Amino acid sequence: MQLRQDYDAFVERDAVVIAIGPDSREAFQRFWRENDIPFIGLADPSHTVADTYQQEVNILKLGRMPAQLLIDRQGMIRYQHYGRSMSDIPPNDDILERLDALRAEED
């Protein structure tokens, strides 16, 4: 929900926000509809995307650990943060600053 709070700031920076989770497509659709989430939700129940980006799964800590990645237009990972707990998520301001720095590099 943190990303939702500043979603407009991400859009202003031409960023595409995608939330990926282990739930089924139906569960994701229901949650997105019930909570009017403005960005893309990608169901990943087989963990294909999580495995590709090496997102940790820790059953003792309630499943997948948070992971934030910035991927540039060429598909290169430019920033990655792998959380050690469900509350280990960088503030949106940190991610937005990194987006600004990437845009400055591109100009």
Q: Is the pLDDT at 60 greater than 70, yes or no?
A: no
28 burial level (CB within 10 Å; 0-12, 13-18, 19+): buried
Residue 39 per-residue DSSP state: S
CATH class, domain 2-106, is alpha beta
Q: What is the distance of C-alpha 47 from the center of its chain?
A: 15
Instruction: Compute the mean pLDDT over every residue in the chain, rounded to the nearest whole number.
Output: 87
The structural domains of the chain, with segments of one domain joined by +, span 2-106
Quickly tell me which residue has 């990303």 as its tokens.
3
pTM here? 0.81
Quickly tell me which residue has 């089924």 as its tokens.
24
- Residues 4-54 have pLDDT tens digits of 899 999 999 999 999 888 889 999 899 999 999 999 999 988 889 888 888
What pLDDT, on a 0 to 100 scale, did the predictor assign at position 39? 93
